[in-house]
Amino acid sequence: MVVATTNRARVRHSCELLAHFKPTGDGWQARMDGVLLQCVARHNKSAMSHEPWLTRLIEFTTMHAVAYVSSATQRLATPQSIDRLLTGACSFNQACGVTGVLLHQGGNFFQYLEGPPEGVAQVYARVKRATSHHGLIELLNGPVEQRHFSAWSMGFAEATRSDLQRIAQASWANELGRISSAANADNPGLVMLLDFWRRGTRATG
């Protein structure tokens, strides 16, 4: 086991950075330090690419994702009612800067949302208030490194029962609750979702 060495220092951080980490509770300094260390490591590896690492740091600390499953009520008993739901959700998600996908099979839903914390919070609050579904079970609610569905404000696909079950029942836990492209092996749920999306039939924008 490798133990990181630490030194006491008086460091000034931006108000935005502190506002993001302090509300996460005890240990927020260590979590912030971990994020900064990972960004420095990535910067060192990609220095030759001349990418703006500070921009990547800002994105890394301000992206959030939510994943959940739920079941439809009678209000979503027809394809037309699902179309109306998708149209409204697409417009709302775009206004909040949120992207993601919705899978459906036999009245059961899986949804993955991603974007700025404030936008995701607004969309998720709207989801939880909706009377068109019930039995919501949260699978993921935490920071992520990047968007995985940037082209889809509300991607939609009909899934097979086995695909939906595999994705919903997979582990969505990760160290510090963070999902990254470099750590896909630690996130079976995300791996399965991305694989399904690459080979599946998609709709909506």
* Bridge partner residues of 104 (DSSP): 109, 158
Q: How many CA atoms lie within 13 A of 44 on its CB side?
A: 6
* Domains along the sequence of the chain with CATH: 15-60 (no CATH), 63-199 (3.30.70.100)
Dihedral (Cα; 43, 48, 49, 50), 10-degree rounding: 80
- Residue whose structure tokens are 């027809």: 78
pLDDT value, residue 184: 46
- Residue whose structure tokens are 């006491």: 8
User: Per 3-state DSSP, what percentage of the chain is helix, strand, and coil (rounded to 5)?
Assistant: 50, 20, 30
* Bridge partner residues of 198 (DSSP): none
pLDDT value, residue 31: 66
pLDDT value, residue 43: 57
pLDDT value, residue 159: 93
pLDDT value, residue 82: 84
pLDDT value, residue 29: 74
pLDDT value, residue 63: 84
Query: Which residues are within 8 A (CB) of 151 and not within 5 positions of it... i.e. 6 or more apart?
Result: 99
Q: Tens digit of pLDDT per residue, the chain (205 long)?
A: 344 455 666 677 767 677 766 776 666 676 676 666 656 655 555 544 555 555 555 555 578 999 999 999 876 667 788 888 899 999 999 999 999 999 999 899 999 999 999 899 999 999 999 998 999 999 999 888 788 998 898 999 999 999 999 999 998 865 334 444 444 445 788 889 999 998 875 555 5
Q: Answer whether 137's CB lies under 8 Å from 71's CB.
A: no
pLDDT value, residue 176: 39
